[in-house]
Chains A and B, each alone.
Chain A
Amino acid sequence: MSKRVAIIGIGMTKFGELWDKRYRDLITEAGADAIKDAGIDGEDIEGLYIGSMSPGLFAGQEHIGALVADYSGLSGIPATRVEAACASGGLALREAYLTIKSGAIDIVVAGGVEKMTDVSTSSAMIALMGAGDQEWEAFKGVTFPSLYALMARRHMVEYGTTIEQISQVAVKSHHNASLNPDAQFPFKVTLEQVMNSAIIADPLRLLHCSPITDGASAVVLASEEKAKELVDDPVWINGSSSATDTIALHDRKSLSRMDSTIIAGKKAYKEAKIKPRDIDFAEVHDCFSIAEILAIEGLNFCKLGDGGKITENGETEIDGRIPINPSGGLKGKGHPVGATGIAQAVEAALQLRGKAGKRQVKDAEIALIHNLGGSGATTVIHILKRN
């Protein structure tokens, strides 16, 4: 059994509407970058875990493990697709981590990919709604923004959270994305622009919603022994956890908090033997601006109900008390659903290596990454530490 597991290589495509690239081009590009970054060769790879939410509906393609191995020139090795809606990437990372931890193999690539712009927006919405309950939510005309709108409304009523505070999440995400050349939206927006953008599902507007994105990301994981042998700057995975909740939003104990995040957070902090205050920055799943508020509360960076306030106070900015989403988050960087969880690991590793350029979080040593599936039915969390 390997004592520790490290990220030894990272790779990511640009995120955006990449009309000239196919599904298989995206993931092989990210994978090749990660393998090159690790300074290893394809022959060293012993397994693949690929997070992808809905290639069947987005690209008419299933059997993703074999496809990715094939087009990576790695046919022969075991390859597994992992699916947990928008948490597919995070869960692929966790499965890869557990495989190395078990001692079965030493070097694994965990990748994530989604090609979302080959279908119309309304078809993409139908595919994404597969992350909710088909029989009792989608059948009624529910959309994903509307599920988060139902949560936002309860949060506003129970805690007095304002639409300005929720909007400030998007303003901050776009500011950080303006410092990230790989982001889909590398530009700033004002509070007024967010609050006057087109209404999608009241009270949520267009600029509270993450976009439809093409992209892929990959990390190379290695056992402690191999990591020390191969690279000088491994990033250690000190905690990995996952938790579930009801598939339909209406069956939750509360709409104003994210219980899967609270459960997974406690487990991850315990495994890493740290407290929330030890985290230097976090990449959290801001598929909608209210989701970032629910995430930072669930992760105990502030009290339940205070997420809007600490955002408004600037505590979550890059130079704030607890920087959140220095990459630009799902809102600014883009959200190719299966790729997102791995892209969070890429950003965290880049930051912990001190190579994040203009968006660098000063003296970052410990990072938390938080990946959500659906309306919160799955949370996957990893805690990463600088060498």
Chain B
Amino acid sequence: MSEGLAIHWRLIPQRYNLVGTECLKCGEKFFPPRQLCPNCRRVGEIREVKFSGEGEIYSYTVIHTPPEGFEFMKPYAMGVIKLIEGPFLTAQLVDCKPEDLEIGKRVELVFRKIIADGSSGIIRYGYKFKLKD
């Protein structure tokens, strides 16, 4: 099934620039963004906030059996990253060897190609992370 453009276009601020949200009522920050604060719900006050793109590895794995479209990258590392502002996200860890990965190591955002829809379809971009030190 081929996808429309809007599904990717509408997430450009989040995927390109790590724009998330925060709740002014309780102070919690959200990335991936939430439009409803899970703590305050209806009485929460949500506004956009840009994250720094710095964090640390909370957990990681190296994927040897990729899904369709990711075959040429294999093996590739995937991490759960704890951003310095608090939230966690999932992203590929790049420009490193699997043996360099370790829980707690500092990482920073890099802007990369994620996947292409075949040879003539749209190319989707977004964030990945690399080791900082």
**Using a CB–CB distance below 8 Å, which chain A residues touch chain B?**
122-123, 125-126, 129, 133, 135-143, 145-146, 149-151, 153-154, 157, 198-204, 248-251, 255
Contact = CB atoms under 8 A, between A and B. Distances in A.
Contacts of B89: 136, 250
A150 B61 contact: yes
B21 interface: no
Nearest to A148: B61
15 contacts: A126-B68, A129-B67, A136-B90, A137-B90, A140-B92, A146-B63, A146-B78, A150-B79, A153-B59, A154-B59, A157-B103, A200-B64, A201-B65, A203-B61, A249-B90
Contacts of B78: 140-142, 146, 150, 201
Given A126-B67, A145-B65, A201-B62, A140 B88 contact: no
B98 interface: yes
Contacts of A136: 32, 89-90
Q: DSSP class of A's interface residues: helix, strand, loop or mixed?
A: helix
A131 to B, nearest CB: 13
B88 A153 contact: no
B67 to A, nearest CB: 5
B65 A123 contact: no
How large, as a class, is the contact surface on chain B? 20 to 34
Given A142-B90, A143-B66, 18 more contacts: A125-B65, A126-B67, A139-B114, A139-B115, A141-B67, A141-B73, A142-B78, A146-B78, A151-B59, A153-B60, A157-B103, A199-B62, A199-B64, A200-B63, A201-B64, A204-B61, A255-B58, A255-B59
B126 to A, nearest CB: 7
